[in-house]
Amino acid sequence: MTQPELSTSSAASSEPAASSDFAPDTLIVETGRPQRAYGAAVNPPIDLSSTFVSAGDITASPYAYARFDTPAWTPFEEALGQLEHSALPGLVFGSGLAAISAVISLVPAGGTLIIPTHSYQGALSSAEQIAGRQNFDIVTVDISDTEAVIAALDEAGHARPGQVAADGAAASASAGEAGSPGMLWIESPTNPMLEVADVPALTTAAKDRGFLVSVDNTFATPLLQTPLDLGADIVVHSVTKYLAGHSDVVLGAVVTGSTALREDLHTERSMRGGIAGPFEVWLALRGLRTLAVRLDRAQANAHAIAERLAAHPTVVETRYPGLPGDPGHARAAAQMNGFGAIISFTVDSAEKATAIAEAVRLWTPATSLGGVESLIERRRRHPAEPATVPEGLIRLSVGIENLEDLWADLEAALA
Ligand SMILES: Cc1ncc(COP(=O)(O)O)c(C=O)c1O
Ligand 1 atom with least separation from CA of 367: 14
Active site residue 207: no
Which domain-ending residue is among 242, 265, 288? 288
What average pLDDT score do residues 242-263 get?
98
Residue 44 lies in a domain: no
pLDDT per position as a tens digit, 40-74: 999 999 999 999 999 999 989 999 999 999 999 99
Residue 8 lies in a domain: no
Q: Is 124 in the pocket of ligand 1 (CB under 6 A)?
A: no
pLDDT at 376 > cutoff 50: yes
Model confidence band, residue 111 (pLDDT cutoffs 50, 70, 90): very high
- Of residues 407, 222, 190, the one with CA closest to residue 301: 407
How big is the CA angle at 254 (ends 249 and 258), to the nearest 5 degrees?
160
Nearest CA to ligand 1 atom 7: 96
What average pLDDT score do residues 270-276 get?
95
Residue 317 lies in a domain: yes
Q: What is the pLDDT of residue 157?
A: 87
pLDDT at 5 > cutoff 70: no
pLDDT per position as a tens digit, 150-178: 999 999 987 664 443 333 333 344 545 55
Q: Which of 47, 63, 69, 120 is catalytic?
A: 120
What average pLDDT score do residues 389-406 get?
98
Provide φ and ψ at 372, rounded to 5°. Answer: -70, -20
Q: Which of 241, 262, 319, 378 is catalytic?
A: 241
Q: Based on the domain organization, do 147 and 225 belong to the same domain?
A: yes
The mean pLDDT of the chain is: 92
Separation CA 20–CA 29 (nearest Å): 13
Model confidence band, residue 21 (pLDDT cutoffs 50, 70, 90): confident
Q: Based on the domain organization, do 358 and 255 belong to the same domain?
A: no
Give the residue with greater pLDDT, 160 vs 330: 330
Nearest CA to ligand 1 atom 15: 120
Q: Based on the domain organization, do 350 and 301 belong to the same domain?
A: yes
Q: How many domains does the chain have?
A: 2
Q: Which residues of 140-163 are buried (b: 16+ CB within 10 A; e: fewer)?
A: bbbbbebeebbebbeebbeebeeb
Expressed as residue numbers, the domain containing 206 is 74-288
What average pLDDT score do residues 277-303 get?
98
Nearest CA to ligand 1 atom 16: 120
Which domain-ending residue is among 253, 268, 288? 288
Q: What is the pLDDT of residue 16?
A: 58
pLDDT per position as a tens digit, 203-237: 999 999 999 999 999 999 999 999 999 999 999 99
Active site residue 241: yes
Residue 370 lies in a domain: yes
Best substitution site from 120, 242, 344 to test ligand 1's pocket, by max atoms within 8 Å of Cβ?
A: 120
Model confidence band, residue 14 (pLDDT cutoffs 50, 70, 90): low
What average pLDDT score do residues 100-108 get?
97
Nearest CA to ligand 1 atom 12: 238
pLDDT at 8 > cutoff 50: no
Which domain-ending residue is among 239, 263, 288? 288
CB 218 within 8 A of CB 251: no
CB 136 within 8 A of CB 109: yes
